[in-house]
């Protein structure tokens, strides 16, 4: 099996799984109870939470545990916006995950105003467009790395623009960025991430919310780890989250360099195929390579690769059912290109041997599709 869909999810690390089982078995008590084994659980949670806070240079009280980055994004956008005047803008990118896109559609249905930023020639958000709208905004919500093409936004410049309006907050969806690139939490008001993108447990995620940010919780009830997200604390997931993040943040530069070499090798390989065009260009993550196979039904290509035990995707795993990639279309304004796009997402665990085998399989599959295309063009 050659798995090249790491941006969709990752296989949980065996060591993380072992930790999850051990904590679930040996530390099962409710951390809110008033007896010794519950105190042990609370100490576990407090220690893990402090470790996470230290990794991001934030306060322990600024960590909110959620079930997914989707929930984190919803909590950040809805929770903050319900405090604000509906006449204020929510500013975002055209390259957003569906959990942000659908949330913003909902906010618009309630009367909130949403503004989608233009992209510059490199595919990043247009900073001049952001400057022109920042004084009418209450929130800017941006993915640090887009999930389909892998565009890395200029975070430091975005921070500078948002700071021009002291009443505007910055939310970063870092789901595809944590453990992949270096960044810091300075001048970021809220940040979303998920463990399952990092060889961690599914249904385990975070929202980091700075103390100055006011939120209305989406889930009301008692206080477990925070008043902003009620429910019994899942100590096994919390301990595993700390462990997952520690492992993910180790040797980032070395991992980046290795994966970048794999991506550059693939880009060079694809240049010889006339019907393959590159969508991930400059300022993109080495972990994501988006291309279009022009003239084919892309789902047929994906299934043909699957028959050869190669696993790719057409777009973000959480996007809607339509085949057209909104992200590719927003950058290239080309429906054919957007309909035939596919994503290769790499990991530091991807081997050079897997890449070489992928090349051999792709070459065979590509040639089989060219035969079909040529026949359909000239049936006689």
Averaged pLDDT for residues 214-242? 85
- pLDDT for 316 equals 53
**pLDDT value, residue 322:** 61
So what's the pLDDT on residue 224?
A: 72
Please indicate, yes or no, whether residues 331 and 362 belong to a single structural domain of this protein: yes
Phi, psi for residue 269 in degrees, rounded to 5 = -60, -45
Beta strands in 189-340 (DSSP E): 190-194, 205-209, 276-278, 288-293, 310-311
Residue 83 has what pLDDT?
79
My answer on whether 262 and 243 are in the same domain is no
> Are 256 and 215 in a shared domain?
no
Residue-wise pLDDT for 84-125, tens only, equals: 766 789 999 999 999 999 999 999 999 999 999 999 989 999
Instruction: Judge if 239 and 257 occupy the same domain.
Output: no
Q: Which of 186, 215, 248 is the last residue of a domain?
A: 248
The pTM (predicted TM-score) of the whole model is 0.94
| 295 and 214 both lie in a single domain | no
Asked if the model's pLDDT at residue 303 lies above 60, the reply is yes
Where residue 231 falls among pLDDT bands split at 50, 70, 90?
confident
Instruction: From the candidates 12, 168, 240, 318, give the one annotated as an active-site residue.
Output: 318
Q: What is the pLDDT of residues 251-270, one digit of tens each?
A: 999 999 999 999 999 999 99
308 in the same domain as 168: no
* 63-77, 228-242, 309-323 — most confident range: 63-77
> For residue 316, what are the CA distances in angstroms to 143, 191, 320?
13, 20, 9
Q: What is the CATH number of the domain that holds 152?
A: 3.40.640.10
CATH code, domain carrying 309:
3.90.1150.10
Residue 380 lies inside a defined structural domain of this protein: no
How far is 379 from 241, CA to CA, in rounded Å?
A: 57
318 is catalytic: yes
56-73 exposure pattern, b = at least 16 Cβ within 10 A, e = fewer: bebeeebbbbbbbbbbbb
Strand boundaries in 169-259, DSSP class E: 169-173, 190-194, 205-209
Dist. CA 81–CA 85, nearest whole Å: 8
User: Looking at the predicted structure, is the pLDDT value of residue 178 above 90?
Assistant: yes
Largest separation between any pair of C-alpha atoms in the chain: 82
Q: What are phi and psi of 227, to 5 degrees?
A: -80, -10
């Amino acid at each position: 099996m050659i798995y090249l869909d790491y941006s969709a999810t990752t296989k949980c690390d065996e060591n993380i799984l072992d930790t999850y089982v051990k904590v679930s078995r040996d530390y099962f008590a409710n951390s809110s109870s008033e007896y010794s084994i519950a105190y042990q659980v609370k100490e576990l949670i407090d220690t893990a939470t402090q470790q996470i806070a230290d990794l991001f240079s934030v306060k322990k009280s600024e960590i909110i545990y959620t079930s997914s980055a989707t929930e984190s994004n919803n909590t950040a956008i809805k929770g903050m916006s319900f405090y604000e005047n509906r006449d204020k803008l929510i500013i975002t990118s055209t390259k957003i995950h569906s959990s942000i896109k659908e949330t913003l559609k909902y906010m618009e249905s309630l009367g909130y105003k949403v503004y989608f930023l233009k992209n510059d020639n490199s595919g990043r958000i247009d900073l001049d467009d952001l400057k022109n709208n920042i004084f009418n905004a209450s929130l800017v919500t941006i993915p640090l790395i887009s999930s389909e093409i892998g565009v890395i936004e200029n975070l430091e410049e975005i921070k500078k623009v948002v700071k021009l309006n002291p009443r505007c907050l910055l939310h970063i969806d870092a789901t595809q960025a944590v453990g992949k690139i270096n960044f810091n939490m300075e001048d970021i008001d809220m940040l979303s991430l998920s463990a399952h993108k990092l060889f961690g447990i599914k249904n385990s995620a975070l929202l980091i919310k700075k103390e100055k940010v006011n939120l209305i919780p989406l889930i009301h009830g008692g206080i477990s780890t925070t008043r902003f997200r009620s429910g019994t604390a899942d100590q096994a997931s919390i301990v595993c989250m700390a462990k997952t993040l520690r492992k993910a943040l180790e040797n980032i530069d070395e991992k980046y360099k290795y994966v970048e070499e794999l991506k550059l090798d693939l880009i060079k390989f694809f240049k010889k195929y006339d019907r393959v065009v590159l969508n991930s260009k400059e300022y993109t993550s080495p972990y994501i390579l988006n291309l279009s196979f022009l003239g084919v039904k892309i789902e047929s290509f994906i299934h043909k690769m699957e028959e050869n035990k190669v696993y790719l995707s057409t777009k973000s795993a959480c996007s809607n059912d339509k085949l057209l990639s909104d992200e590719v279309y927003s950058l290239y304004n080309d429906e054919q290109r957007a309909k035939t796009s596919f994503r290769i997402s790499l990991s530091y665990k991807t081997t050079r041997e897997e890449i070489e085998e992928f090349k051999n399989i792709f070459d065979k599959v590509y040639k089989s599709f060219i035969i079909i295309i040529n026949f359909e063009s000239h049936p006689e």
